[in-house]
């Protein structure tokens, strides 16, 4: 999920991807910079929770963020 994802769109995608809302079936991988993460992620999480959806959240750093030059 990028910072461009609309919360309502994310809920719709989750409902389509896991129609029975079974735990452990859906992982949302978040890919956005730190500044956008602080602003956008809370809205996405709130929308998913308010819809009563069971998801696992994961954040994957890009290769260039993980490996710093020595």
Q: What is the pTM of this model?
A: 0.82
The pLDDT score that the predictor gives to residue 17 is 97
Number of domains in the chain: 1
For the stretch 3-21, pLDDT in tens is: 999 999 999 999 999 999 9
Range of the domain at 19: 7-64
- Give a yes or no: residue 54 inside a domain: yes
Does residue 41 belong to any structural domain of this protein? yes
Q: Is 25 annotated as a binding residue?
A: no
Instruction: Return the pLDDT at 7.
Output: 98
CA dist., res. 34 & res. 54, Å (int): 24
Q: Where are the beta strands (DSSP E) in the chain?
A: 27-30, 56-59
In a domain? residue 2: no
């Amino acid at each position: 999920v990028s910072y461009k994802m609309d919360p309502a769109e994310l809920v719709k995608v989750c409902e389509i991807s896991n129609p029975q809302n079974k735990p452990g079936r859906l992982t949302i991988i978040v890919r956005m910079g730190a500044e956008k993460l602080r602003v956008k992620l809370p809205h996405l999480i709130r929308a998913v929770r308010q819809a009563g959806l069971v998801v696992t959240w994961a954040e994957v750093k890009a290769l260039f963020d993980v490996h710093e030059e020595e």
